[in-house]
Structure 1
Amino acid sequence: MVSHLNTNENSGNARIRMLTYLMFFMFAMTSDAVGVIIPELITTFDLSMSQASAFHYMPMLFIALSGLFLGFLADKLGRKTTILIGLLLFAAASFMFALGESFYYFLFLLALVGIAIGVFKTGALGLIGDISASSKQHSSTMNTVEGFFGVGAMVGPAIVSYLLVTGVSWKYLYFGAGVFCLVLCWLAYRAPYPQIKRTSTQEINLASTFRMMKNPYALGYSLAIGLYVATEVAIYVWMPTLLLNYEGNLVLVATYALTIFFTLRAIGRFLGGWILNRFSWQQVMFWFSLAISLCYLGAMLYGISAAVILLPLSGLFMSMIYPTLNSKGISCFPVEQHGSVAGVILFFTALSAALGPLLMGFVGDMFGHVKYGFYLATGFAFLLCFMAAYNLLRDPSGHLLTANVE
């Protein structure tokens, strides 16, 4: 009888994991296709680059706000209800792209998309904690989740490129995402969700999220993730500009540098679970963040000819940083607080994704070349490495991760 119950539980958890993987795939498919859509918007609406860049910043800003102000819903309403609300809002916003032709109308819809992503992502992140038996399994699942995100990041731009080449509007990407989202809603509704066992009588509301903002462990992991995100986003926002005028022997590599970066990042994330099962996560974070820092430093010291190789290569080392830090930051807290802490971390993640490229652009404009913005990103990478070194030597959150295994 016990064996039968365990089999049913494992089967249900497998379905939930696959549902979570598909949600992150869909999220990446739309969000990372923005870079391909922006040139089309500039032509259609006669926009400046600053105006068109709002297509990137708008959803990121509202993902941040949604994570901060609505992250507690995953703990208060439950994972299932929260995920369904987020997915339905995402589907509605996606279908509404077909109803208008105004740039500002699209920005409004992207704000709705950002809110929806913040809601269902915090629900999904909390759910991963519910079905993870240990901190190590949590990290392994998060790496697989981000692997699917990496695949979506490649599929989305490819779909938009194909649509534009064949003369079809980019808006059909969102129509397809809306249909996919309705399928996910049905799967989420039918999936069995584990019950959250509360160990605290503390009321769950927006105030509890703001209390979480004062927690040194939540803030420490959020800072580390913010530094990582600023380092990563530098690649896919500004690397194409950095390599634009490259005329050396590796022109083909420069042309597909971003695709190589995304491919290496996705491969590394699928390998994440295997690596983390063989080495301590503290060691992996330090050595991989050091490798990222050296890739950036080499690119800055030896110029564009080195950047063509080293910047895409950094994707392999970036692969496990975000999902592992995210997992450990959430695992520091009891299961019934996972939605709130995921919302806090998501706030800093999305805020960094929006502000990092903006600061790089500002520095690049100030000194007259985009490479100066990469000097700033190199600084972000080394700060992350210093934090990873401190974590390796002192392991400040080790007692919390051990205490919240059960």
Structure 2
Amino acid sequence: MTQTAPTPDRALNTRLIKGLTFMMFMMFAMTTDSVGVIIPEVIREFDLGMTAGGAFHYASMSGIALAGLMLGFLADRLGRKPAIILGLALFAGAAFLFAVGRSFEFFLVLLFVSGAAIGVFKTAALALIGDISTSTKSHTATMNTVEGFFGVGAIIGPAIVAALLAGGASWKWLYVIAGVLSVGLILTALMVRYPTAVKTAAPPTDLKSTVRMMRDPYALAFSLGTMLYVGVETAIYVWMPTLLLGYDGPAVWVAVYALSIFFVLRAAGRFLGAWMMSRFRWTTVLVVASLAILICFAGSIAGGRSAAVWLLPLSGLFMSVIYPTLNSKGISCFAKAEHGAVAGVILFFTCVSAVLAPLAMGAVSDIFGAPIYGFVLATVLAAILFGALAVNAVLDPAKARLARFDDSQYGV
């Protein structure tokens, strides 16, 4: 199998598709990663407890997880373009309804629906990355760039909410803004020419084939890897503000902006990761990054808040490359015709961890009486992640399979 040089029109179209994908990830990150800023307002507005207020996070994550598992195959069965447009249209509809919502329960339903919509268009977008990649290595580099734009959205979203609240407007307008962006993305998607679908003799993927894929050792291994990583990351954006609450040491300004610093470093690191993954062995990069994360967390436990105020935000730089790389390699271990389904499986495990890990850390903190104990659990997860990635770097069990798909799917 050989590759022909891309024509100017094809190269331009590929850039447009990448731009559309980047903007989709940035747009939905504006909403999902603004929940930490919105929840205190929701608690005050509806007179809720913290557990009930946290449902704003769990509702959207549950929608994404279920859609990833049960609807991820739509990207393979319907095609990337129809699945993306369907997901964006559903997301836009739910987002606009926030403007007329008045009850907490109504907002939870909208968050679940918008999460399901994200699950549909995100799995299609992830599958599309495989269609426009020239090798499994370029797939990983592109995935890091895509997640870099997600990181940018995670910075922009909370800033928009803060500006809305400062101006006396409701947090609900963030979703209306996201809805407007979704309409623009739908119009763009309608105009862009997508790559021709990969023809295969295998039957089209469906829910049953997705469930069977969960038993595949490669899909399961990469999914469990992303679960471990997300468990570590949620400790930062869910519980770090609580850990640093009341800190009055010499780095008080760092404590105030700790979460913003983490998000900025995570976004910057993902753009850097796109460069690194095209030049260095991915297994080595991941084991070095996971060791640095473990050092940051262990140092925060040993040195207390005076160390945590510096080390925990810094961990964002090292976390940046792990999730997009594991996601990319997991997807690349399958034929392009199955990329939507496997992306959905990995997304399911990701969102399950995003719900269960912060719950477990909160429970441990409650039992022992201080948030630092939740970070002890997170440090244990970081140690397991490092151990798993170290074994992966030595054995490289996916090497042969990735090489096979480089040849059969990309012609490398």
TM band (smaller chain): over 0.9
1:14 maps to 15
Amino acid at match of 1:232: E
Give, as a single letter, the amino acid of the residue that structure 1 aligns with 2:379: T
Which digits, 9 at most, give the CA deviation of each residue in 1:23-45, with x for residues without a partner?
A: 00001001111111111111110
Aligned equivalent of 2:174: 173
| Equivalent runs, 1:297-316 vs 2, <5 Å | 297-316=298-317
Q: Which runs of 4+ in 1 moved over 3 A?
A: 2-5
Q: How many residues align?
A: 405
Q: Does 1:235 align with 2:236?
A: yes
Deviation per residue, 1:253-279 (Å, 9 max, x gap): 111100110010111011112112232
* 1:82 corresponding residue in structure 2: 83
| Mapping of residues 35-50 of structure 1, within 5 Å | 35-50=36-51
Displacement of 1:196:
2.0
- The amino acid that maps onto 1:43 is R
Q: Which residue of 1 aligns with 2:211?
A: 210
Summarize the alignment of residues 14-163 of structure 1 with structure 2, pairs less than 5 Å apart.
14-163=15-164
* Range 89-98 or range 274-283, more displaced: 274-283
The Cα RMSD (Å) is 1.2
Gaps of 5+ in 1: none
CA distance in 2, matches of 1:96, 1:384: 40
TM-score, normalisation: structure 2 = 0.97
Q: In 2, distance between residues paired with 1:355 and 1:366? A: 16
**1:64 shift after superposition:** 0.4
Residue in structure 2 matched with residue 270 of structure 1 by the alignment = 271
Task: After TM superposition, give the deviation of residue 389 of structure 1 in Å.
Answer: 0.5
> Counterparts of 1:4 and 1:184 in 2: how far apart (Å)?
29
Q: Distance in 2 between matches of 1:278 and 1:189?
A: 35
Find the aligned partners of 2:368 and 2:39 in 1 and give their Cα distance.
25
Question: How far has the Cα of 1:62 moved from its partner?
Answer: 1.1
Alignment-derived partner of residue 366 in structure 1 = 367
- Deviation string 1:145-180 (CA, Å, 9 cap, x unpaired) is 011000100000000001001100111111111111
Query: Is the alpha carbon distance of 1:4 and 1:317 closer, same or farther for their aligned partners in structure 2, counting shifts above 3 Å?
Result: closer
Question: Contact between 2:85 and 2:121, CA under 8 Å: does it hold in 1?
Answer: yes
SS in structure 2 of the partner of residue 278 of structure 1? coil
Superposition deviation, residue 5 in structure 1: 6.0
Counterpart Cα distance in 1 of 2:118 and 2:204 = 25
CA separation in 1, counterparts of 2:254 and 2:198? Answer: 51
> Secondary structure in 1 aligned to 2:7?
helix
Distance 1:99 1:199, change over 3 A: same
- Is 1:257–2:263 an aligned residue pair? no
**Partner of residue 322, structure 1:** 323
Q: Which residue of 2 aligns with 1:185?
A: 186
1-structure distance, mates of 2:348, 2:331: 13
Shift of 1:402: 0.7
Matched to 2:117, the amino acid is A
Letter in 2 for 1:212: M
Residues 54-87 of structure 1, C-alpha deviations (whole Å, 9 max, x = no match): 0001100110000000000000000000000000
Q: Report the Cα distance in structure 2 between the residues aligned to 1:340 and 1:195, rounded to whole angstroms.
A: 18
Q: Secondary structure at the match of 1:194?
A: coil
Name the amino acid aligned to 2:61: M
Instruction: Give 1:4 deviation, angstroms.
Output: 9.2
Say which SS state the counterpart of residue 178 (structure 1) adopts: helix
Q: Do the aligned residues in 1 keep the contact of 2:138 with 2:278 (CA within 8 Å)?
A: no
Counterpart residue number, 1:356: 357
Indicate the larger mover: 373-382 or 268-277.
268-277
Structure 1 residue 3: Cα displacement: 8.8
Aligned pairs (5 A) from 1:212-227: 212-227=213-228
**Aligned letter for 1:209?**
T
Structure 1 distance, partners of 2:384, 2:396, is 17
Q: Does 1:398 align with 2:399?
A: yes
Aligned to 2:295: 294
AA partner of residue 190 (structure 2): Y
Tell me which residue corresponds to 1:195: 196
What TM-score, normalized to structure 1?
0.98
Q: CA deviation at 1:205?
A: 1.0
Distance 2:399 2:361 in 1: 34
Could you say if the C-alpha distance between residues 208 and 311 of structure 1 is closer, same or farther in structure 2, counting changes exceeding 3 Å?
A: same
User: Which amino acid in 2 is paired with 1:110?
Assistant: L
Distance of 1:76 and 1:184 partners within structure 2: 22
Corresponding residue number in structure 2 for 1:332: 333
Rounded to whole Å, the distance in 2 between the matches of 1:255 and 1:325 is 31
Gaps of 5+ in 2: none
Secondary structure of the residue that 1:271 maps to in structure 2?
A: helix
